[in-house]
Amino acid sequence: MAGASEPLAVWLYGEHVATLERRRGRLRLTHSDAAQRRFGLNVPLVSMSMPVSARPYGHELASAFFEGLLPEGEVRRAVAYDLGLPESDVFGLLGELGRDCAGALVVQPVSAGNPVAAPLAEAEPVDGEEVARRMARLRVAPLGIDDRVRLSLAGVQGKLLLVRRPDGGWALPTGGVPSTHILKPATALPQVVENEAFCLRAAGHAGLAAAEVEIASVGGRPVLVVTRFDRARPDSGEVVRLHQEDACQALGIAPARKYEEHDGPSLVAMASTLRRWRAPEEELDRLLEAVTFSVAVGNADLHGKNVTFLHDGESEIRLAPLYDVMCTRAYPDVSAVAGMFVNGVTGLDDIGPGDLVAEAEAWGLPARRAAGVVDRLLERLPGALEAAASETGEVPEALVGLVSERVARARAASARTSGAVAPAFVPSVDAPAVQEAAEVRVDSAEAGEPRVWVTPYRRADGTPVAGHWRARRALDSDAP
């Protein structure tokens, strides 16, 4: 185990760029002299919240950033228990797990020396049976951590990190080989794997950069396989880390405050960060697209840990692909409060296209440009949803119907208001649990008042409801 007093070296692309120390329980980050000479001052090397400086950064900023590299909640408690460390010991946990983190940083005791890039052959191959065994043990061995595997990834959900071999098989990230894929099992929420796959594929079909996903069966259960966008494989075939940080880290905010309602990151703050570091203007368009998509599909979980910035080169910043996106409004017990507010509106179902435009204006985007970004994305979404549904055969039809109606209402609202504050995205039926939901589709062939078809379903109390047409309610109706 790493000594409590031994400093931790922070490595980036083979360079020792900083040292993390703990003094009387408080963290301090100091950039190396070599980093100051090579990159210059005020460069967002480790983090935008701690650009290169001749002076050290204190506990508040250092702890916010480095705690953001660690798991959260029950996952962190289980990992800390297994390592014999308090879950609050950020420094100690990093000393054990920091060799493979999100992004390109390698954090390890100074005495460990330079973390030499490991050839892919060092990763230990595993068969399907071993993958299933490790998935089944995520409660007691989160992330697949054991005596041979030491790594870290933020988040509250149990997941398994693996390396995909060139032949398509799996391997453990041993010997210093970075993990390349995240395997996320189903949770207590029904069809959550299919939900996330559908939404991320829809984002891709709509022209947004989104994490690549596939659905696999592991041990007879569905698993979402996510390709890490902070890893690359050049022609050599070896795995290369790419530096990134999430919005909480970039803004110096502790991960426990990832929701804006808990004094977490705001969209305005994220946009200001992009402007501060001279990101291309198109990155603000991409941020607006990401927010529009999340609202449209009913994702209330867009928070400060679910927006990430990629560091290109030494100082160029851009948004990472979308990830962890699903229709949370399909689950009645999941909060409908937006992870980040839009134009001051806190309820996801109360946010309209006009709010999105007004929010973007607060970032400095002209209203006409912002309205164009929103409108063009909404126009692409119906076809994107159809393509994603076809690609994700396992997705419940009810979920497709729920998201499709939200998008249809948003498009109609946007057309009616031409950029003014518009009626919300909320569909005209209460968002039910996925397994109890009814498919909703528009009767486009019927003249006159549009109708929607509700497929047969069961209410929460078990009462069967036959399929039927019903009149489509007005966009500004308060009726459920």
Q: Check pLDDT > 50 for residue 309.
A: yes
Looking at the predicted structure, is the pLDDT value of residue 437 above 60? Answer: no
Rounded Cα–Cα distance for residues 375 and 402 (Å): 20
The CB-based long-range contact list for 172-175 (8 Å cut-off, 24+ gap) reads 172/123, 172/124, 172/126, 172/144, 172/148, 173/100, 173/123, 173/149, 174/122, 174/123, 174/124, 174/148, 174/149, 175/118, 175/122, 175/123, 175/124
The residue type at 376: R
Structure tokens at 1: 């185990």
**Distance between CA atoms of 151 and 94, rounded to whole angstroms?**
9
The pair of three-digit structure tokens given for residue 480, joined into one six-digit string: 């459920």
Helices and strands in the chain: count of H runs, count of E runs: 12, 22
pLDDT the model gives residue 470:
45
Tell me the average pLDDT of the chain: 85
Per-residue pLDDT at 454: 40
Give the mean model confidence (pLDDT) for residues 335-362: 96
Distance CA 203, CA 182 (A): 19
- Of 108, 105, 184, 109, nearest to 144 by C-alpha is 184
Above 70 in pLDDT, residue 436? no
- State how far the Cα of 244 lies from the Cα of 225, in Å rounded to an integer: 20
Pseudo-torsion of CA 81, 85, 91, 92, nearest 10°?
-100
Query: What span, in angstroms and rounded, lies between the C-alpha atoms of 137 and 154?
Result: 18
Determine contact, residues 242/310, Cβ cutoff 8 Å: yes
**468: confidence class by pLDDT, cuts 50, 70, 90:** very low
Instruction: Give residue-wise pLDDT tens across range 63-118.
Output: 999 999 998 888 888 888 888 899 999 999 999 889 888 999 999 999 988 887 77
Lowest mean pLDDT among 156-165, 248-257, 401-410, 443-452: 443-452
Question: 4 vs 76, 93, 96, 353, 360, CA distance in Å?
Answer: 19, 10, 11, 52, 46
For 247-302, the pLDDT digits (tens) are 999 999 999 999 999 999 999 999 999 999 988 889 999 999 999 999 999 999 99
Q: Find out whether 54 and 36 touch, Cβ atoms under 8 Å.
A: yes
Give the dihedral of Cα atoms 459, 465, 469, 471; nearest 10 deg. -40
* pLDDT score of 159: 87
Element (H, E) at 291: helix 282-297
Distance CA(401)–CA(364), nearest Å, equals 35
pLDDT for 476 equals: 29
Express each pLDDT in 402-426 by its tens digit: 999 999 999 988 876 654 444 466 6
Report residue 473's pLDDT band, with 50, 70 and 90 as the boundaries: very low
Highest mean pLDDT among 147-156, 272-281, 419-428, 458-467: 272-281
Q: Which two tokens stand for residue 379?
A: 């126009």
Strands 124-126 and 170-172: antiparallel
Top-ranked range on mean pLDDT: pick from 46-60, 81-95, 154-168:
46-60
The model's pLDDT over 208-228, given as tens digits with 9 standing for 90+, comes to 999 999 999 999 999 999 999
Least confident of 105-119, 146-160, 385-399: 146-160
Q: What pLDDT is stored for residue 121 in this prediction?
A: 76
pLDDT at 347: 95
- In this structure, what DSSP letter does residue 257 have? G
Query: What residues contact 440, with CB distance under 8 A and at least 6 apart?
Result: 401, 402, 404, 405, 427, 429, 452, 453, 454
**Looking at the predicted structure, is the pLDDT value of residue 462 above 80?**
no
Residue-level pLDDT at 155: 64
pLDDT in tens, 117-148: 777 878 889 999 999 999 888 877 766 655 54
Could you tell me what percent of the chain has a pLDDT over 90? 64
- Look up 301 and say whether it is catalytic: yes
Is the per-residue pLDDT at 16 higher than 60? yes
Is the pLDDT at 471 greater than 50, yes or no?
no
Please pick, among 100, 246, 285, 301, the residue that the annotation labels catalytic: 301
CB 381 within 8 A of CB 202: yes
